[in-house]
Amino acid sequence: MNLTEIRKIEHLDICLREAVETGDPLFEDVRLVHQSLPETDLEKVDTSCEFLGKKLDLPLMIAAITGGCEEAGRINEALAQVAEKKGLAFGVGSQRAMIEKPELTQTFSVRSVAPSVLLLGNIGITALKEVSPERVAQAVEAIEADGLCVHINPAQEIFQNEGDDDFSGCVDALARLCAAVRFPVVAKEVGNGISREAAELLKGTGVRAIDVGGLGGTSWTLIDSLRSGKDSSRYREWGIPTAAAILEAKGASLPVIATGGLRNGLDMAKAIALGADLCGIALPFLRVLAKDGIPGVEKYVDGLERDFRHAMFLTGCKNVEKLKNKSVILGAGLKEWVDQRNLDG
């Protein structure tokens, strides 16, 4: 087993055993406006959407979790099956392990169980300085993915013993990748949020969408400090809360994915109303699968769908497009962020 495989196993283990969520995504600071006359039938509310050219039944992605060890392969296969059945998008974890060791490819390969899902591969931005666009494209093609998420995680790298905290040249490396490949590339933070400035830089690289990966959900500074013993106590709540990050990132006028601490269908509806096009959830899927298996995950998705549908109905939105950028009332914390950063609320 190489270092990357060991790291994958430790990450899964810590995420299942420890309290690893920190910060506040600020969804409590978003209120949707109730409409007493929705003029639609609850059952006819259309929760489907399109993202990167594929139709989804719900604006939800099972965000990148894993790959690169046997257990990871089982997790990917089980969650991808649910994504296929429920019409969700699916992201595999970092494919670096399979680039280093091609026999691990099968732990990322889910196409046979998820033939029609929007499937996204994954690689870290610093790896793009060493791995050529051709090798990256091969990894994406090897799992028959529709596109690639490039994760951007400077805060996490600081607290990893084996972390790569040289982020110089990353923007150019990302631009080279985007210019060289035919599939869409999505830039993705992993828990510290994308600012407006970062979103504008990303737009210049040619990425096709931005996953804001905001503060308020799974904390990678915490998880990796538990592995390394490095003191991350002052950086556990570092970052841009997810609700604020949506407003920051949407200024770049690219499709936005809202990930980081979304835990129910109402959070999803708030994220879409703030301007996101798709929602992403990771940790709860891993935990529900470990506890209640595939039936539990299906039930969890049904609950997300039901809550999301209720929010659409009660705001008078017949389809997801109508919910997008719906007017919302901002609580003090988020309002202060919007005002001080001169964002459109």
Ligand X SMILES: Cc1cc2nc3c(=O)[nH]c(=O)nc-3n(C[C@H](O)[C@H](O)[C@H](O)COP(=O)(O)O)c2cc1C
Residue (15 or 181) nearer to ligand X, CB: 15
Count CA atoms closer than 13 A to 150's CA, side-chain side.
Answer: 29
Q: What are the counts of helices (DSSP H) followed by strands (DSSP E) for the chain?
A: 13, 12
Q: How far is the CB of 80 from ligand X (least distance, A)?
A: 14
146 secondary structure, DSSP code:
S
- Which residue, 263 or 318, is less far from ligand X as judged by CB? 263
To the nearest whole angstrom, how small is the minimum distance from the Cβ of residue 260 to ligand X? 5
What's the CA gap between 251 and 189, in Å, rounded? Answer: 16
Of the pair 239, 316, the CB lying nearest ligand X is at 239
User: Token digits for 318?
Assistant: 């017949």
64 versus 175: smaller Cβ distance to ligand X: 64
CA distance 297 to 282: 12
Residue nearest to ligand X according to CB distances in the complex = 217
Nearer to ligand X, 87 or 260 (CB): 260
- Provide, rounded to whole angstroms, the least separation between the CB of residue 288 and ligand X: 12
- Taken in order 286, 288, 291, 294, the sign of the CA dihedral is negative
Q: Least separation, in Å, of the C-beta of 8 and ligand X? A: 8
Q: At closest approach, how far in Å is the CB of 287 from ligand X?
A: 9
Distance CA 49, CA 60 (A): 9
User: CB 328 → ligand X: shortest distance, Å?
Assistant: 21
Question: Length of the chain in residues, anyone?
Answer: 345
Q: Nearer to ligand X by C-beta: 28 or 339? A: 28
Write out the residues near ligand X by the rule CB under 6 A: 11-12, 15, 63-66, 93-94, 122, 149, 151, 188, 190-191, 213, 217-218, 259-261, 281-283, 286
Count other C-beta atoms under 10 Å from residue 182's C-beta.
Answer: 7
| Beta carbon of residue 218, minimum distance to ligand X (angstroms, whole number) | 3
Instruction: Give the H or E element holding residue 281.
Output: strand 278-281
Q: What are phi and psi of 102, to 5 degrees?
A: -55, -25
Structure tokens at 122: 């994954």
Beta carbon nearer to ligand X, 130 or 321: 130
Return the SS3 of 211.
strand
Give whichever of 218 and 225 is closer to ligand X, judged by the CB atom. Answer: 218
295 contact partners, CB below 8 Å, separation of at least 6: none
Render 56-76 in DSSP notation, one character per residue.
ESSSEEE-----SSHHHHHHH
Q: How far is the CB of 333 from ligand X (least distance, A)?
A: 19
